[in-house]
Chain A
Amino acid sequence: MPENDHYVIIGNGPAGNHAAATLRQKDKDAKITIISDECVPYYYKPRLTDFIAGEIAKEDLMVNFQDVKDIRIRCGQAVKRIDPDSKLLFLQHMEKIEFSKLIIASGSRARVLPTMSGYADHLKFVTSYTDVMEYKEEIRKAENFFIFGGDLVGFKFFKMLNSMDKTVTIMIDPDAFWPYRLTRDMLEQISENLLKFNTEIIVKDEVLSIDRQNGSYRVKTRKGIEKNVDMVLSFNGLNPNIEFAKGSGIDIDYGILVDEYLKTNVDGIYACGSCAQIYNQAIKSYTTSIGWPNAVVQGEVAALNLLGDHKIIESVGQKYFDLEGVKIKTTWWEDINEDNDA
């Protein structure tokens, strides 16, 4: 008798969880496993800033997701390698896991550009629960901040600092908005509108060096600005987590390449959420989507297609995101706050 299917999902974010829930809904018997390298249950990343600001409690970070039933969740276990031929996943601690079908929903993490290598050791990033647990107290105590890059997460973080009455210097790099780039006009308008906050804005400049001196950091820019601050945070966009897929035969570029059905070039392997680079028939190009609502829908669609459906993924909520007075057309970001459960 053939054994039940074993669907494995890499990643415990919105994409992974909604994929798992959909699989369970449609296939009552299959064995379903979510593997995540984070040691925490499914949580709201977008609420991390409110948590730091002390506006919500730890419990409020957790997603109360009833739909993931009978699903094995392996936390704190990183996938190192995929072998599509033998349908095996290799975990960091040397265990092998067999799958019949696989959904990759490994998300993304802070992008560190090679130009930052000289001072990367002094940077802090806010992309996960672990980061936040590590820096929360430090952020609360610190008075002076230097933020650079300034992607959407960065602006969210900036507003949070502002609400906490911190002194912030923000250096905006139009490239930080990867996968999109700010135009000159957008950049100017954003800077102008940011002036209403208690902040110093630097544009058209670069970080030259960051040194640590008796507990604080000295940031020097190429144009000669010097700042002494308590913390330096980098928000230079996100990079898909795809190292484990390299060399597996699954097509990857910046992210995992999938067609409009979220299928990779390998049968039975799908990818969704912010780790995926998705073919979009309308613009005839691949796009990377970050943002919670897209991850949710993509998780569901990947699961349905894995089970035999042919659903084309469409971007959620064609809308304009208001970034300090500038409307950025986005299909991939929802301004999520505590009273807006996605």
Chain B
Amino acid sequence: MKKNDLYSKEETFFQSKNKIYSAQSVKQIVYSTDIRDFGQVAKSIPCQDACPAKTNIPGYIRAVFEKRYGRAYELNRSANILPGVLGRICARPCESSCRHGETDNGQSVGICHLKRSCADLKPSSHRIIEGLYTPTEKKVAVIGSGPAGLAAAHDLSILGHKVVIFEGMDKPGGMLMYGIPEFRLPRDLLMLEIQNILRLGIQLKTNTAIGSDISFAQLKKEYDAVVVATGCVSPRKFDIPGGNLENVYNGLDFMKAVNEGENPFVGDKVIVIGAGFTAVDCARSAIRLGALDVSINIRKTIEYMRIDETEKYEAQFEGIKTYSLIQPSRIIEDNNKVTGIEFQRTRMEKIDKPPYRVSIPIENSQFSVPTDSVIAALGQSPDMSIISKKPDGMDGVFAAGDFVTGSSDVISAIAGGRKCAGKIDEYLVGKKRKRTVVRLENHATTDRQRSYDFIGKVVMNTIDMEKRLSKSTREVETGYNEDQTHEEAKRCYLCNLKYEIDPLVCIYCSACIDVAPKDCIKMIGNIPVNPDGTYGIYEETDDWNQVLSIAIDNAECIRCGQCLAVCPMDCISVTKTELIEIDT
């Protein structure tokens, strides 16, 4: 079929469908608390389910498609507080779960880039929406102004509590300010989104470390509740001979120095150790400090690097090499100066408990390479010294973010901060004031065209190497323009639309199955129920005597609308499903 035929066929179809449905266009909305509906939403919208903050991804991508960038920004902000920031540096667990990235479906949708587009393209007169509750006269102290602290402070403030944030550093933002380099996250944007939180009347006290400037006990006395959101600030020790020589840095200190505008010595050749965000940021920063030969060295295989593909790609683009299956054994020195590093080779082995695959050093496999500096980004752990016992909420002391989970990512910290705020609110007012429900709304059909499914992922615009090196803080990614944004938004299947067959009307003609592009419509013999009450995986059958129903598997369905177009009985319906928060 020629492309044009495809378009015209679909367009006539949608028109005729609109007519049919126009009589029913009165909205039918149902709010459900049925566990099966929650299960269905989780299964059918994999991106949202993977997002720790449960951002309404198809909702905002649809708004972006409609060029309602302000609305898209607010849909984001209501879940994740810092859309412009996350649109640049989010760890993107959603994208690895996106249905578009499943086998045979192509590449995942650029969910994160589109989030950035909402922030970049929203009108300058954009208004932020906050649903403020009446003041409660309760006072909450938040220790730490990283994403977890900011998110907790935001939600508590909305709920009417008086919030003060105590921050040990000079500026707010935690690792957003002192960890992530400016070439990935411009500081004016970061400050703008932080200000939008503080505007709610939150007091921020910087240069005030709890434990040294103010005691924890004093906070407990003065406030009705305390949130410990101090992150993971103690770097894991680099415990090999020579680990404390000059020009051997720990990654976090190195990034802090870079982000405070210092130029730590790196020399020509830099060896970075570590497999996470910090390692890559250190390596990329070293390149900007003038190093000529920078490598990232990891113990396991490249598959286990805890960074997303874009980061890997950008590092390679900047000429950074990755050497896998090696671990450092000693630093070689001459007159107290680093001259080289000795590595030992490793191999992968299976163990019976998590993480199941580990790297183990191979005996007598040492080799050494020359280097001018070593940066060890081995991860960090929380500093427990300010508190006497693990916060459990019992005595008004709560905790959130990396402090609780260990080093994670910004979106998990935000989700943790928000969850924590909910618990504190319940503690302070004695009841749960908000709950999540599934909003179900009948939906005529989609105006998505099948041709959208074949659009390739739009590549992010970046600046060239010369520009990257000429000013080390210059942002590398420059965002999609409006046309690119629209094109990428077309790609989303809108998995929040649920396709269903009414088994009482269906005549089992299987016309839908014949046109389906996927194994999405199934003859099922049984629908098992999971222990938590949600539906399990459909059990299919070929035996007509056993067929319970023809059903659409929304975990396979790519919302192409083909089945709807051919069904002679009009027994396929579309429902828009959304998770929303309502007052109890």
Instruction: Identify the A interface with B (CB < 8 A).
Output: 80-81, 90, 92, 94, 113-115, 117-118, 246, 251-254, 257, 265, 279, 284-286
Contact = CB atoms under 8 A, between A and B. Distances in A.
Interface string B357-398: 100001111000000000000000000000000000000000
Interface stretch (B226-234, B271-279, B313-321): B313-321
A284 B302 contact: no
Given A90-B103, A257-B348, A285-B365, A115 B303 contact: no
A117 B317 contact: yes
Question: Among A80, A253, A254, which residue has the most Cβ atoms of chain B within 10 A?
Answer: A253
Given A265-B350, A284-B365, A114 B103 contact: no
A254 B316 contact: no
A81 B101 CA distance: 13
B170 interface: no
A253 B303 contact: yes
A265 B349 CA distance: 8
A267 B273 CA distance: 32
A44 B452 CA distance: 41
A306 B365 CA distance: 28
Given A246-B303, A253-B325, A115 B104 contact: no
A265 B317 contact: no
Contacts of B313: 114
Nearest to B326: A285
B345 A284 contact: yes
A251 B301 contact: yes
B347 interface: yes
B191 to A, nearest CB: 31
A253 B364 contact: no
A94 B316 contact: no
Contacts of A253: 301-303, 324-325
A113 B320 CA distance: 11
B370 to A, nearest CB: 13
Interface in B314-355: 314, 316-317, 319, 324-325, 345, 347-348, 350
Q: 5 nearest interchain CB pairs?
A: A284-B365, A253-B301, A114-B317, A114-B316, A284-B362
B464 interface: yes
Contacts of A284: 345, 362-365
Contacts of A257: 301, 348
B303 A118 contact: no
B325 A115 contact: no
Contacts of B357: 251, 265
A285 B345 contact: yes
Interface in B276-334: 301-303, 313-314, 316-317, 319, 324-325
Given A115-B319, A286-B347, 16 more contacts: A114-B314, A115-B317, A118-B464, A251-B303, A251-B348, A251-B357, A252-B301, A253-B301, A253-B303, A253-B324, A279-B347, A284-B345, A284-B363, A284-B364, A284-B365, A285-B345
23 contacts: A80-B103, A90-B103, A92-B104, A94-B104, A94-B519, A113-B316, A114-B313, A114-B314, A115-B316, A115-B319, A115-B465, A117-B317, A251-B301, A252-B303, A253-B301, A253-B302, A253-B303, A253-B324, A253-B325, A254-B302, A257-B348, A265-B350, A265-B357
A284 B364 CA distance: 8
Contacts of B302: 253-254
Interface size class of B (residues with CB under 8 A): 20 to 34
B369 to A, nearest CB: 12
Contact of A286 (B104, B325, B364): B325
Nearest to A286: B325
Interface of B: 103-104, 301-303, 313-314, 316-317, 319, 324-325, 345, 347-348, 350, 357, 362-365, 464-465, 519
Contacts of B345: 284-285
Contacts of B350: 265
A85 B303 CA distance: 20
B175 to A, nearest CB: 26
Nearest to A250: B303
A90 B519 CA distance: 14
A90 B363 CA distance: 39
B482 to A, nearest CB: 23
Nearest to B324: A253
Nearest to B348: A251
A7 B103 CA distance: 24
Contacts of A80: 103-104
Nearest to B362: A284
A121 to B, nearest CB: 12
Contacts of B348: 251, 257, 265
A80 B363 CA distance: 37
Nearest to B519: A94
A157 to B, nearest CB: 25
B439 to A, nearest CB: 34
Contacts of A265: 348, 350, 357
A287 to B, nearest CB: 11
A251 B519 CA distance: 29
A90 B316 CA distance: 31
Contact of A81 (B103, B325, B347): B103
A21 to B, nearest CB: 31
Nearest to A113: B316
A179 to B, nearest CB: 11
Contacts of B464: 118
Contacts of A92: 104
Contacts of A246: 303
B339 to A, nearest CB: 19
A114 to B, nearest CB: 4
Contacts of A115: 316-317, 319, 465
A117 B362 CA distance: 37
A252 B301 CA distance: 7
A115 B287 CA distance: 15
Most-contacted residue by chain A among B303, B347, B350, B362 (CB, 10 A): B303
Contacts of B314: 114
Contacts of A90: 103
B327 to A, nearest CB: 13
Contacts of A81: 103
Contacts of B317: 114-115, 117
B50 to A, nearest CB: 15
Interface centre among A92, A113, A114 (most CB of B within 10 A): A114
B92 to A, nearest CB: 16
B315 to A, nearest CB: 8
Contacts of B325: 253, 285-286
